[in-house]
Amino acid sequence: MSVISTRIQGDVLVVTADNPPVNALGAAVRQGLMDAMRQAASDDAVKAVVIRCDGRTFFAGADITEFGKPPVSPSLPEVIDAIENCPKPVVAAIHGTALGGGLEVALGCHYRVAVPSAKLGLPEVKLGILPGAGGTQRLPRVVGVEAALPMIVTGDPVPAKKAKAMGLLDALVEDEAGLEDAAIAFAQDVAGRSEHPVSSRRSDRIADTPPSAFDDFRKANARRLKGFEAPEACIQAVEAAVSQPYEEGIKTERVLFQKFVTGTQSKALRHVFFAERAAQKIDDLPKDIEILPIRKVGIIGAGTMGGGIAMNFLSAGIPVTMVEMKQDALDRGMGIIRRNYDNTAKKGRITQQQVDTAMSNLTGSLDYADLADCDLVIEAVFELMDIKKQVFGKLDSIMKPGAILATNTSYLNVNEIAASTGRPEWVIGLHFFSPANVMRLLEIVRGDRTAPQVLATAMKLARTIGKVAVVSGVCHGFIGNRMLAARQKQANALLMEGAKPHQIDQVLLDFGFPMGPFQMADLAGLDLGWKEEESKGETIRDVLCERGRRGQKTGKGFYDYDEKRNRTPSDEVNAIVAGFAAKSGKAQRDIGDDEIRERLLFPMVNEGALILEEGIAQRASDIDMVWLNGYGWPAYTGGPMFWADIVGLSTVVAGLERHGDAMPDLTISSLLKDKAAKGERFNG
């Protein structure tokens, strides 16, 4: 069946796309639209045209899988020009999402109508490119530069009501089922008008732009956009819309688009797009597996982690019972949740009504028995195996049959925890990242005996609460913390060899991380897990803590901090480290940034390769998702495994071998060596 079909209703040509799942504008769709425009122009009985889509959405954009392949005619810009040049008025009927090339098609139409639930956006920037089918020239002409810039540069879509208010839509159709008929009626109405169809090219809204608009926007968004190349290209293209005539502006957009679509950042961000979707797939689970209903969730522990986890479910409308040992700890935890919600409401991100609903779904308790009827319980108690086992033993005796028992452990053996119950099939790891209500990553740890249904339910639940879930097998630290440990080991070794904390941190900041390991340690507190009474000054951390250097909260740690928490390197720390190095007989030396970067990042890639080799991660791109969503790895490099592909696996192996003397206990993964020798990549 053809992906584009046409029919004539009255005097309106209705053009319908049907290209599941998201009506991407692949070659066949483009050709079909082109043919339809020819039909509209040549058939005298046709007075107007409606373009609409079957399925769950209007065109969700160009077909991303075609990027990087030889172009197939007609191009999207040619198709949109054909729509715009149609002598009969063309109306876009929008439901679902009109994104990227999809919105550009709609902008080529002379009129746009949509249902209120629709969203419209130009998310190309998130793929490392800019709208390349006229979007940067047409959108500012339709809605003005002030409204167009954020849409194009951040890529965030706008809801239909806002789109109507900004002039992007001509009408809203309240009755969703009646969109097609309403669009046809709208088309008949405009066809009867005497004036020519309105082209997005002709507008003087763009002339209102103050000259400072672009620099102001650059300044206001500098932090958010740091490291990404495409946002600046987007700004330049919109600047061209203001400073150049339409035909010239379109050429500027084309040149920038061609440059970026073949760039490394775009390849990396496209990889991220598909990696996020791939992570949701578990290869050995049957497609029709039954998903268990999760109507009520229990959380053990009302600390920062437990509270953050609870908020995920409350925000999704799922009632939560939170259990603590003491009333004051419970009150404190519940109070923090309320304050967090209140603050979000103050910022206008949620309504007071939503705060009240979320809080009304939260019950506090001091009694495990109150968890008995929960469909899922997550423990977020102290990270000690004995304590976890006690908690699970108790849960086993209380929870109803068929309830999922989850641990939020970040390191411990989930199989061992599961074995402390009589129902290991119902036990799973749900490793949230702090702050748990904000961070997108959820590592789902599949125990050796976890039932497929339990795993599938956890994956579905992750989607419900807006997390990016990645499945990990059982090993110490799972995917993320195991690789973090490999990096930390090198950071500590480099310190002893003469690199300074600020130098090591700066190398990672320059790479694109939001923070380096010593900044992170200072933020978390150096005394986390450290006991004063047991400290014998045997490690750098012992000495720092003993001297009151316990991190940002004490005004000093690896760095000195002023009252605004600005950090400066510390001579005292350097002397302490040098003292330890001398005691261990290590000569300190100047270490270059390249060596630091290789010694920090190559062992991580190696650990990732071991994780793959052992079957802990399903695929390399899952490892990328963990680091992108949980640890601040810069998205524009695609994640550690994709980055290694770009650097070249033989370069990584050569680097590991070159630094071998400094990393004597590092075993190079045979998978990594093998792939490097064959010139292969981790990702395809």
Binding stretches for ligand TC6 (CB under 6 A): 21-22, 24, 57, 60-65, 76, 97, 99-101, 123-124, 127, 131-133, 274, 277
In this structure, what token pair is assigned to residue 475?
């090993």
> Is residue 115 a contact partner of residue 94, using CB atoms and an 8 Å limit?
yes
Kindly give, in sequence order, each residue whose CB lies less than 8 Å from that of residue 463, ignoring residues fewer than 6 positions away: 280, 469
Give catalytic status of residue 290 as yes or no.
Answer: no
Q: Return the number of the residue (100 or 249) whose C-beta is nearest ligand TC6.
A: 100
In this structure, what token pair is assigned to residue 391?
């908690």
Q: How crowded is the C-beta side of 130, counted as CA atoms within 13 Å?
A: 31
State the Cα–Cα distance between residues 612 and 255, nearest whole angstrom: 40
Kindly give, in sequence order, each residue whose CB lies less than 8 Å from that of residue 509, ignoring residues fewer than 6 positions away: 515, 516
In this structure, what token pair is assigned to residue 621?
């791109």
Nearest to 637 by CA among 269, 124, 232: 269
Q: Return the number of the residue (124 or 379) whose C-beta is nearest ligand TC6.
A: 124
Give the 3-state secondary structure of residue 4: strand
Give the 3-state secondary structure of residue 183: helix
Q: Return the number of the residue (34 or 662) whose C-beta is nearest ligand TC6.
A: 34
φ and ψ of 157, to 5 deg: -75, 160
Nearest to 134 by CA among 107, 99, 164: 107
Residue whose tokens read 């190095």: 581
Would you tell me the crossing angle of helices 593-613 and 478-497 to the nearest 10 degrees?
150
- What is the 3-class SS of 418-475, one letter each residue? HHCCCCHHHEEEEEECCCCCCCCEEEEECCCCCCHHHHHHHHHHHHHCCCEEEEECCC
State the Cα–Cα distance between residues 518 and 75, nearest whole angstrom: 50
> Is residue 13 a contact partner of residue 39, using CB atoms and an 8 Å limit?
yes
Q: Judging by DSSP bridges, how do beta strands 97-99 and 119-121 pair with one another?
A: parallel
The helices-and-strands tally (H runs, E runs) of the chain is 28, 19
Which residues face 97 on adjacent strands? 119
Q: Return the number of the residue (81 or 546) whose C-beta is nearest ligand TC6.
A: 81
Catalytic residue among 66, 84, 104, 324: 104
Give catalytic status of residue 248 as yes or no.
Answer: no
By annotation, the residues acting in catalysis are: 104, 124
